[in-house]
Structure 1
């Protein structure tokens, strides 16, 4: 049996692709590639920034640690210098005490030597010793006695040449006297020790017969 199709055949329209479509796709691909490259660069820059920041923080910590060690070292050096100064001051005080004690002992011996050579009617009012020179201030009833006193001093091997600074006549209560000032160089501070008075022996008891 033969069938005859009396309907009009369907005509399918075939649309051709638009001419600009490949260009849009290419542009999108370029945009995506540029975005990826930008993101990669951004991540790289961020990583480099954080790495540099970490390095800077590390260097900062090292500098702070070095500064702390330097401060501690300066503190130790300052303490050592302070201890050194205290030691020097202590040694200076000890030497000064020894010197004063030595000068005191020498001054006592010098005054004993002077008193031994002091003539009658000559009195000492003041005396001072600075380690090299002895200064004397006294009174006498005549210039001859002052001259005798100077001669007695110069005969000693302990003293040098006496310098008579002045001799002034004064009066008090009707009495006339001379006030004088002498300077005496000390040549030998090591003098003979002062003789201490010997204790008297106790009297022996006598037996009664």
Structure 2
């Protein structure tokens, strides 16, 4: 017997299209959901990795901050030690210079000169004293100029005074302390090793 379709042709076609639409819509929704889940998983993994990296970087930054703080403290300690060293060296140099200054003043002092005061400010020395004549002051300044440890004497003032019925000339002059080059040159040089034999 031949099957006869009693349903209208258009209704059957519409029903088939609806079924096809629902299947495609379901597949599309499933695919979209899978894509959303995959994207979510991907970005969640990226975010988790970034969070871990941020934590690592933060811990490294904390360590670097500690190291920077330690370096700063070491620099401060180094500067303090260098300052102390400079002070000690300055004191030793000043002590030596004071001894040399007094020695040079005694050596360069001509007869007829009497010192009243000596004041050192840095490398400059102020000398106040009495002389029996102006020529004695000139001799003293020439002696200072010829000394390897003294230089650039400059007369500030000279005036006539009377002390215990004696006529004297009170003078005031400055002179600078110098370090002669011979001091460094006189230090023994290290021996040069002999050339290797060939």
TM-score, normalised via structure 1 length: 0.62
Greater fraction of residues in helix: 2
Tell me what 1:100 maps to.
Answer: 91
Task: Answer whether contact 1:167 1:178 (CA < 8 A) is retained.
Answer: yes
Secondary structure of the equivalent of 1:182?
Answer: strand
2:7 alignment partner, SS class: coil
Q: CA deviation at 1:120?
A: 4.8
Matched, 1:127 2:123: no
CA deviation profile, 1:43-82 (whole Å, cap 9, x unmatched): 3222212321221231232134124314422541452244
Q: How does 1:187-202 map to 2 (within 5 A)?
A: 187=178
Determine whether 1:113 maps to 2:110.
no
Flag the structure with larger Rg.
1
CA RMSD, Structure 1 to Structure 2 (Å): 3.7
- Local SS of the residue matching 2:88: helix
Give the equivalent residue in structure 1 for 2:7: 18
Q: Residues 141, 34 of structure 1: CA spacing in aligned structure 2 closer, same or farther, 3 A cutoff?
A: same
Cα offset for 1:128? 0.9
Question: After the TM superposition, which of the residue ranges 51-60 and 160-169 deviates more from structure 2?
Answer: 160-169
Q: Provide the rounded CA distance (Å) in 2 between the counterparts of 1:129 and 1:85.
A: 30
Match for 1:165 among 147, 156, 159? 156
Residue-pair matches, total:
175
Unaligned 5+ runs, structure 2: 184-198
Q: Does 1:40 align with 2:35?
A: no
Moved over 6 A (4+): 171-176
- Runs of 5+ unmatched residues, structure 1: 1-14, 191-209
TM-score by length of 2: 0.64
2:192 maps to: none
For 1:128, what is the secondary structure of its paired residue? Answer: strand
Cα separation, 2, equivalents of 1:136 and 1:162: 10
In structure 1, the partner of 2:195 is none
